Structure 1
Amino acid sequence: MWPILMQFLRANAPYITLPIAAVVGVIGYNLESLISDRYTPYNKPVQDQRYERMEDELLKDPTNVKKLKYQENVLGKNVSPSLQKN
């Protein structure tokens, strides 16, 4: 009896496991929807955010640019006391 039953199950495995997998999937999906919070806050599209940043950069005052010039001597910042000028 057992060999006949096992042969039947082996031959029809896809027909037996598919409904079982579907039931397990539906139960898992519904449990997840009950447990988890699916609320996602609204954000502007990334492309719109990029355009706004580009507009902000273009609207800055072009005359108020810090000059690309050293304000101090770069080599004199972390000088040891023995090398400092007195």
Structure 2
Amino acid sequence: MQFLRSNAPYFTLPVAAVVGVIGYNLESLLSDRYTPYNKAVQDQRLERLVEEEALNDPTNVQKLKYKENVLGRNVPPSLQTNK
């Protein structure tokens, strides 16, 4: 027992390495590493600036009407009305 206690790091390092390799390979088999495409930050910023310029133009006015019912989002089933 004294031998195991004094040499514990020499035993635990290989065990931890084996567990880590198994976990890494298992995760690569089970998980999907697909990352969806996003536009570049500069492109997103440019689009926002163009959109803001369009909003500041007084000749370009959109009709004021609701596009979506804000209060109807995430309504629990007990509060939903059947139409």
State the TM-score, normalizing by the size of structure 2: 0.61
Query: Gaps spanning 5+ residues in structure 1: where?
Result: 1-5, 67-86
| Corresponding position of 1:18 | 13
Give yes or no for the alignment of 1:44 onto 2:39.
yes
- Cα deviation for residue 48 of structure 1 reads 2.8
| Corresponding position of 2:50 | 55
- Two-structure CA RMSD over aligned residues (Å): 2.1
Query: Gaps spanning 5+ residues in structure 2: where?
Result: 62-83
Higher relative contact order (CA 8 A, sep 6+): 1
User: Which runs of structure 1 show a deviation greater than 6 angstroms over 4 or more consecutive aligned residues?
Assistant: none
| Corresponding position of 1:27 | 22
- Cα deviation for residue 58 of structure 1 reads 1.3
Distance 1:65 1:48, change over 3 A: closer
The aligned length equals: 61
